[in-house]
Amino acid sequence: MSIKLIQALIPHLPRYAEENGDFYSVKRTELIQVLTNEKCSVEVAENTLAMLENLLDTLATLDPAYLEKGEWCFISFPAQLMALSVLTAMSDSNSRFFETNFWNTRDTSHDKKDQQREVLKQIENHREKFHLKQKAQPIRYIYVAWSLIKYEGEILFYQREDTKKRHDKNAGDYGLVGGRLNQQDMNLFSGDLTYKLQALQSPNTELIKPELEETLKRELREEIGLIHEQHYDFKLWRELKPYQQVQGSAPNHALTEYFINLYEIELTLEGFCFLQRKEKEDERIVWFTLDDIENGKTADGKIAYINALYDDFDGSPAELKESLGALKNSFSANYYFNKEKYGITLPQKATQPIVAGVLGKESKLEIELSAKQLKILLGLAAHLREFKFSKLDPDIELHPYGWVKVRENTQLQTDLIELSGYLSNQKIIVLESQNDCYFRVSVVPTIIYFDDAYFSFSINQSDLDGSANKIPYLIQREVIGTTLGHTEVVKITENRSLELASDLQKMIQTEYSADNEFASKTKDNYRKALQPSFHKLGHRGLIRQEGSRYKVCCTAKFP
């Protein structure tokens, strides 16, 4: 019936000349009469015409001024052609605007999906752009869970899987780890598939948002391999205001409203170490600094896809940066022993004591270690200080903050468990253990030092005899042999004054009391010029006071 009505209507539509601009209008009442002549009721005729009028008005083919007068009039000849194209297709049962299987997405090539996307993109962009009140209604609703994993002031991003499917280069290629909710995440729903899909494709946020926690767990597992509870826990950080955009991976492209929850991630030690390994293996994992986030991209051009987050901060990246800056790290060092102006010096040999205390007032600790135990402790301490190893035991993995993971059922694991038990009552040298496979010396790294025997200091005779005001000073740390492996030899060259070199040479050759003016001045000059480099290498310091006298405390090589 509807086909016959449209067929009857077409000859009576208003016309617009292809040339010279002549046109005429047709009263709406006349068009209704045409339809009633086809033996349909006035009600059916009016409803049919109202629907067609709404369609042609949506296509912007009818002149609004004439519509207000109850008449149909095309805006132009091309508008008439558009209207006739649509109505003719609707009145012909064999007519299609697309091939029969054009919208099929199953087993369809990427080229075909791109074509689908382009059609939807054009239609939806126009629908949004030309809405008379700039309030176009979304036809697609997406619920998203994003994670915030922060480490040393940087936020974890992940290269989007659909980057190659999107044609908008400004959309960004890296997003926060997470993704969209799907029906498999809806564990709280007891209804059938119809109920699930209707709820999922609606703006009923109160019904859907509780399911986003399941989405978060799934996405973290799928994208970076983190398992909830084993590797991390989470809490809601921010619920973004709804965000609209004509977007979607091909071919699912439409004016979309996004409902996004951001979750703050707290990593377990196992999760933190797992992520460290994963980052080395997966080039899609990238850390953005807070400045990168403020700028929207990294220095090498990686673009952040977080427009909804920017929008939630009213388009102020600076405010977002400040808020993320206040967010605590997902994993922190949390050393058990952390005292300022304190030092712990580990010996070279087991027959020597561990010395610890407030700097300048250190004393021997009542800890007796075997040679094997000391070598283990030296290895853990060297890693804590971030020393590089030239040779490393294949049964271990090194992780930040001094953590070492040891392979299970090895002799090293047995030895570490035993040493951890022996030191369990210590309040200074704390050997922390988790799950009998993660170990570390839980002391803030900057207060750990190594025996003087590992260090040397030298100046060349030719430099001393020269006329330059500043000459090179060589500070060196030798190999530290440990159970974990052998550390690398490290050398630091500092250009400092010739005068200081001469004064240090006198300090080596002559023993001075602590109240000697020359020695005190030399010590102060040394501390300003060289002590930071000695500390960096793990040495307590070249000049130290022992009792009432000053002492040069490493191998000093002067000509």
Question: Helix H segments across 232-356?
Answer: 269-281, 290-295, 307-312, 317-326
How many residues are listed for the chain in this entry?
Answer: 559
Query: What is the per-residue pLDDT for 509?
Result: 85
Tell me the C-alpha distance between 400 and 224, whole Å. Answer: 19
Q: What does the pLDDT read at residue 54?
A: 97
Residues 313 and 326: their CA atoms lie apart, in Å, by: 15
Domain ranges for the chain: 2-90, 140-326, 342-448, 454-478+488-557
pLDDT at 164: 47
Residues 6+ apart with CB under 8 A from 48: 2, 5, 35, 40
Distance, CA of 57 to CA of 67 (rounded, Å)? 9
Rounded distance between C-alpha atoms, residue 71 and residue 76, angstroms: 15
Tens digit of pLDDT per residue, the chain (559 long)?
689 999 999 999 999 999 888 999 999 999 999 999 998 999 999 999 999 999 999 999 999 999 999 999 999 999 999 999 999 999 999 999 999 899 999 888 989 999 999 999 999 999 999 999 999 999 999 999 999 999 999 999 999 875 444 445 555 689 999 999 998 888 877 777 888 888 889 998 888 888 999 999 999 999 999 999 999 999 999 999 999 999 987 789 999 999 999 999 999 999 999 999 999 999 999 999 999 999 999 999 999 999 999 999 999 999 999 999 999 999 999 999 999 889 999 999 999 999 999 988 899 999 999 999 999 999 999 999 999 999 899 999 999 999 999 999 999 999 999 999 999 888 899 999 999 999 999 999 999 999 999 999 999 888 888 888 999 999 999 999 999 999 999 999 999 999 999 999 888 888 899 889 999 999 999 999 999 999 999 999 999 888 888 888 888 776 6
Q: What is the pLDDT of residue 166?
A: 47
Question: 140-326, superfamily in CATH?
Answer: Nucleoside Triphosphate Pyrophosphohydrolase (3.90.79.10)
Q: Nearest 5 degrees, angle CA 34-CA 35-CA 40?
A: 140
> CA angle 450-453-548, nearest 5°?
85
**pLDDT for 243:** 96
Q: Are the beta carbons of 138 and 255 closer than 8 angstroms?
A: yes
Handedness of CA 256, 262, 268, 272 (dihedral sign): positive
Q: Quick one: tokens of 417?
A: 């468990």
DSSP label of 184? G
